[in-house]
Structure 1
Amino acid sequence: MTKEKLNLSSLYEHLVHKEQIHFDKVVWCKLSISKHRFILWQAMLGHLLTRDNLLRCHIQLETCLCPVCELDQKSHDHLFFKCPFSQQVLCEVQTSLGLQLWPFSYSEWQVWMEGRPKGLLQKISAALLAASVYYIWTNRNWGIFEAYSCSALKLKSPDSLGSGSL
């Protein structure tokens, strides 16, 4: 009989075995602005305070509908993939670049993030992804707190973003 030391971290890993997704290189890409990185990180972890997350915390809301399109319950999947505003923003970004950058579901997005960035083009696409997520989230906040929501075409115009306050 061999004696082995009990390793608590190994035991924990064995019992909890959670699939890890590695998207840190995309999120913390040096070409991205810090506030864009932080919101992308929160979005990737599913920690943004979307209405479905607030309901899980037993916080009562007047409505569960998306404040931007008012068509569906707001969740990470809806906000970044199903909302017509988000689809229009992403379409504009992809059209401008001539690239297909964006998966079409939250789970595909997390897996897609693992493989990036390697070269300069991937780093630029990661920075654009972070900026897109940030502006989609900011537009959602405008819809809730300012009762105002931009169109995707307005976000595309540099003059519409003000004096760099975003």
Structure 2
Amino acid sequence: MQEGNGRYIFKLNPGGCYVSKSVGAKIDECIIPRSYVHDETIRNNLIPQKIGIFMWRTLRGRILVKLELDKQGIDLDSLLCPMCNEVIESVDHVILSCKFAKEVWVGIHKWWNLNPMSYTNISDQLKSVNQGGIPSNLKKVCNVWATSYIIWKNRNQKVFQNNPWATPKLVNEVQVKTFEWISNPSRKGHFEWQQWLTCHFNMSFPSAINLDPG
């Protein structure tokens, strides 16, 4: 803000008026290096930007799991995963290999009629989305990005409220959120909730929806 002629001028907006979107963009600019602003996870138009930023940070080990906090010199009572209390909490553990996270992934794979698989890191999980006839970008959103984000939110709910959700509720949350994103009224093309829930939709529908990052 800059004061001028008896009023404040908001310098982030060319018109001088306060716009919250401009603040968000400036925060993103500070968090995300300029070289990554066109990264697929940041610019994918299927998902809210906060999910893309979360995945960008996750793929680079930058979410605040206990192992990363310990590396930053923060003294913690325990490095064990708050969900299972058995293994040191790393990014890959809390999102993929914790027994509670695995239950969610099994539910998501079952929803998409995919063979259950075990992955050691998020990058391998992303590479796996090319199996089957579902467009890979759509599966990244539903099979990896949304699920990872919901698992992380549930972890935080356990840490800060000691009230994590049960697996069926988490799977349903992924289904609901992704349906909201994919069936956004601003997109061309439409399909019904029951089609999404059972994966019985016409596989040609992505041609009417921009599934490419941009």
The reply to whether TM is greater than 0.5 is: yes
Contact 1:26 1:116 in 2 (8 A): no
Distance 1:36 1:114 in 2: 19
TM-score (norm 1): 0.70
1:85 to 100, 103, 112: 100
- 1:140 offset after TM fit, Å? 0.9
- Give per-residue Cα distances to partners, 1:42-69, cap 9 Å, x unaligned: 1001100110000001101122111112
Q: Which runs of 5+ in 1 are unaligned?
A: 1-23, 162-166
**Structure 2 CA distance for partners of 1:101 and 1:32, relative to 1, 3 Å:** farther
**Structure 2 CA distance for partners of 1:102 and 1:123, relative to 1, 3 Å:** farther
> How many correspondences in the alignment?
134
Distance 2:126 2:40 in 1: 9
* 1:110 lines up with 2:143 in the alignment: no
- Equivalent residue runs for 1:1-166 within 5 Å: 24-25=39-40, 28-100=43-115, 104-106=119-121, 109-111=122-124, 113=126, 121-128=135-142, 129-158=144-173
- 1:120 offset after TM fit, Å? 6.5
Q: Which runs of 5+ in 2 are unaligned?
A: 1-38, 177-214
- What amino acid is aligned across from residue 82 of structure 1 in structure 2? S
Distance 2:81 2:64 in 1: 12
> What is the root-mean-square deviation of aligned Cα atoms in Å?
2.7
**Structure 2 CA distance for partners of 1:66 and 1:122, relative to 1, 3 Å:** same
Q: Which of 1 and 2 has higher RCO (CA within 8 Å, sep 6+)?
A: 1
Distance 1:110 1:89 in 2: 18
